Amino acid sequence: MSSTKPIRRVAIIGTGVIGASWAALFLANGLEVVATDIAPNAEPALKRFVEAAWPALKRLGLAPGASQSKLTFTADPLAAVKGADLVQENGPERIDFKKKLYGQLDEALPPDVIITSSSSGLTMSEIQSGCGAHPERCVIGLPFNPPYLMPLVEIVGGAKTSEETIQRVTDFYTAMGKKPVRLHKELPGHVANRLQSALSREVYYLVAEGVVSAADADTALSWGPGLRWGVMGSLLLNHLGGGEGGIEHFFQQFTGPMTAWWKVLGQPELTPEVQKKLIDSVHSEVGSRSIDELAAERDEMLLGLIELRARVENAPATSNKAVA
């Protein structure tokens, strides 16, 4: 496959939360979107989602030509992908389903059409084994929820994915305002979900053991390290934590205590009893707030942080020299 063809038309397969969010993002970037899903009432649900997401996307900045009217829907997957320049697949996490689907897409699509998957649990090597002709154009493009707001996308090739495909899809997602991360090895859960799972394991342990309530665990995270993680990643913060000596001094000072903590981290078993304790503690934290209210609160703060980071990253460099 060799192509510099611009991507103007995207097919979305599966319009649940992730697929609908991708659709909203692509529309906001001025693309044509054809979506497909066999679920009952999928089309009106998708259009409601896009309409609800539009004010946030407008606030972040719509591309020229961005319009909800560029969204069309069909229940026929092969009709949806006809004429598409890229396919974003968001189907069930079942390898038998995906292998069959990718075989059908591989037969139906020209070789220069990229097929990306939002799969978080399956490897592309498994998925693309269903393609008999052009497995090299298949790649994982895993977003972080909700994709229309969260910039992260993890790009993972399979054993047969070409470097050209990796580069094309990286350029595409970057043009959509995403922050791509390239994984050089396939791992279950990829990167962000593994990081999240490692932290969640310790949170579950601390609450289950009665060390803290769910509310206090969430406060410790969101007003402690989580507040910093919204600005810089863990390793860069380690570099700052080392003071003038940077990351080198950080390891000199903290390797001993840090590795000692690793040895006593929790290994909770999510038994029904532990789950009930966690659930009860979370509901106590939530109180009378609805899921929609919590989501709106989350999204408003995410928008503010994204806007702030964009202003800082796009600001002209300033000199540290004192003005005479």
pLDDT at position 3 is 61
State the Cα–Cα distance between residues 315 and 60, nearest whole angstrom.
16
pLDDT at position 121 is 85
C-alpha pair distances (Å), 259 with each of 220, 229, 239, 247, 268: 21, 21, 17, 16, 19
State the Cα–Cα distance between residues 183 and 180, nearest whole angstrom.
10
State the Cα–Cα distance between residues 304 and 184, nearest whole angstrom.
32
Per DSSP, the residues of 231-260 read TS-HHHHHHHHTGGGHHHHHHHHHHHHHHH
Helices within the chain (DSSP H only): 17-28, 42-60, 77-81, 95-108, 124-127, 163-175, 192-208, 214-222, 225-229, 234-241, 246-262, 272-286, 291-314
pLDDT at position 318 is 58
State the Cα–Cα distance between residues 249 and 247, nearest whole angstrom.
5
pLDDT at position 321 is 43
pLDDT in tens, the chain (324 residues): 556 789 999 999 999 999 999 999 999 999 999 999 999 999 999 999 999 999 999 999 999 999 999 999 999 999 999 999 999 999 999 999 999 999 999 999 999 999 999 999 899 999 999 999 999 999 999 999 999 999 999 999 999 999 999 999 999 999 999 999 999 999 989 999 999 999 999 999 999 999 999 999 999 999 999 999 999 999 999 999 999 999 999 999 999 999 999 999 999 999 999 999 999 999 999 999 999 999 999 999 999 999 999 999 888 865 444 433
Domains of the chain: 9-183 (3.40.50.720), 193-287 (1.10.1040.10)
Count of alpha carbons within 13 angstroms of residue 52, beta-carbon side: 14
State the Cα–Cα distance between residues 237 and 228, nearest whole angstrom.
8
pLDDT at position 190 is 93
Kindly report, residue by residue over 49-77, the tens digit of the pLDDT: 999 999 999 999 999 999 999 999 999 99
Token code pair at residue 254? 């903290």
Beta-bridged to residue 36, according to DSSP, are 13
- Kindly report the number of other CB atoms within 10 A of residue 197's CB atom: 11
Kindly report, residue by residue over 123-162, the tens digit of the pLDDT: 999 999 999 999 999 999 999 999 999 999 999 999 999 9
pLDDT at position 314 is 86
State the Cα–Cα distance between residues 108 and 117, nearest whole angstrom.
17
Whole-model pTM? 0.91
pLDDT at position 316 is 83
Count of alpha carbons within 13 angstroms of residue 245, beta-carbon side: 8
pLDDT at position 2 is 54
pLDDT at position 324 is 32
pLDDT at position 322 is 41
